[in-house]
Amino acid sequence: MNFLQEEIIKKARVLNEDVLKVDSFLNHQVDPSIMSKIGKSFAEHFKDKAITKVITVETSGIYPALFTAQELGVPLLVCKKSNSFVLSQDYYCTDVFSFTHGNLYHMIASKKYISDDDNFLIIDDFLATGEATKGIVTIIEHTNAKIAGVGICIEKTFQNGRKELNKIGMKNIYSLVKIKSLNNNTLTFE
Amino acid sequence: MNFLQEEIIKKARVLNEDVLKVDSFLNHQVDPSIMSKIGKSFAEHFKDKAITKVITVETSGIYPALFTAQELGVPLLVCKKSNSFVLSQDYYCTDVFSFTHGNLYHMIASKKYISDDDNFLIIDDFLATGEATKGIVTIIEHTNAKIAGVGICIEKTFQNGRKELNKIGMKNIYSLVKIKSLNNNTLTFE
């Protein structure tokens, strides 16, 4: 059992069969010492992949992504969520459906910070349906930049995320914690 | 001249007389080494204030706030922006006007993570009109928690923020960089 599983057992709460509440340390109140350990784990796992930039989408992906970028000694690019479609020549933009909020949002990133020479590491807090990660992939695919892999804090393996990412060619997905089920108010790890 | 002023001179761009563009290292693409230095500076300045928690509002305040919390060895609480007013008993909620986006948003924070014993350090990237910081103060004032001070990366002293915060009793405001003017496409520090 790794440190993140231990933290989840101590502090997370099963809200329903789809949602694990981790707002005491991961996405509302944030424990910097746990986030720093997560960043070190991702950096260690991907250290030989010649990553040039870490990328995530606001908001909760930022905490692990910032420490991962620090450890790897590379910049972090944070895709933004916009309510209005951005028709600026300066930005890449794609539509993403959020199952959490039941709405569509526009994910944007400045063209200036994605170059054909980049080799990205995608970091996010959760992998569930994979929509957010697919959005980031779509943003990067506007260019010839490469994607070395995906680092996920908590993967819900009972949802389709990994399968969806595999379909679009994302094979190198590293999850620190895999959750098999949240049924019957019970957390079951893989 | 400190490290942040040097970075601003090297990488920021005056967009107009109100806006300094710092999206290459501070709020879109993020340089973790600069953010870590900013966190160390705030932690050093407030180290004798018995801070129990750092607080900010999403999104750009998160980068300096996360490293400040790490340095101080305390949790970070990130207030969220919501499009709909949250009528849950579990959250404190206040309205904030964003001059940047020209709209009103609802700032929320879970009651669970603000206790009467807390002594908060507020961190944000910019101090301009002070609306966002005032929103955080209002959230905390729902309780008997204390506010030890405010740490700001870049203060635009030609706007009203500091005066507005002084009016509501916030005197301990520490800005790493103060900008006097952005007129005539020229950046002038205090």
The model's pLDDT over A92-140, given as tens digits with 9 standing for 90+, comes to 999 999 887 788 999 999 999 999 999 999 999 999 999 999 999 999 9
**ipTM of this predicted structure:** 0.96
Query: How far is it, in rounded angstroms, from Cα B76 to Cα B54?
Result: 5
pLDDT at A82 over 90: no
Task: Give the pLDDT of residue A85.
Answer: 67
Cβ-Cβ pairs closer than 8 A, A with B, add up to 88
Provide the shortest C-alpha distance from residue A111 to chain B (in Å): 11
Beta bridge partners of B93: B108
Regarding beta strands A76-82 and A53-57, do their DSSP bridges make them parallel or antiparallel, or are they unpaired? parallel
What's the rounded mean pLDDT across residues A10-17?
A: 96
Provide the shortest C-alpha distance from residue B159 to chain A (in Å): 26
Query: How far is it, in rounded angstroms, from Cα B34 to Cα B32?
Result: 6
Chain A contacts of B80, Cβ < 8 Å? 28, 59
Task: Give the pLDDT of residue B133.
Answer: 98
Please answer whether residues B14 and B182 qualify as being in contact, where contact means their C-beta atoms are separated by less than 8 angstroms. yes
Chain A contacts of B73, Cβ < 8 Å? 33
pLDDT in tens, chain B (190 residues): 899 999 999 999 999 999 999 999 999 999 999 999 999 999 999 999 999 999 999 999 999 999 999 999 999 999 999 877 666 789 999 999 988 778 899 999 999 999 999 999 999 999 999 999 999 999 999 999 999 999 999 999 999 999 999 999 999 999 999 999 999 999 999 9
Please answer whether residues A162 and A155 qualify as being in contact, where contact means their C-beta atoms are separated by less than 8 angstroms. yes
Chain A contacts of B33, Cβ < 8 Å? 70, 73
Provide the shortest C-alpha distance from residue A28 to chain B (in Å): 5
Task: Give the pLDDT of residue A89.
Answer: 87
Supply φ then ψ for residue B35, to 5 degrees: -60, -40
- Residue whose C-alpha is closest to residue A147's, from A172, A125, A167, A166: A172
Tokens of A127: 């992998």
Residue at A49: amino acid letter: K
Regarding beta strands B20-21 and B13-14, do their DSSP bridges make them parallel or antiparallel, or are they unpaired? antiparallel
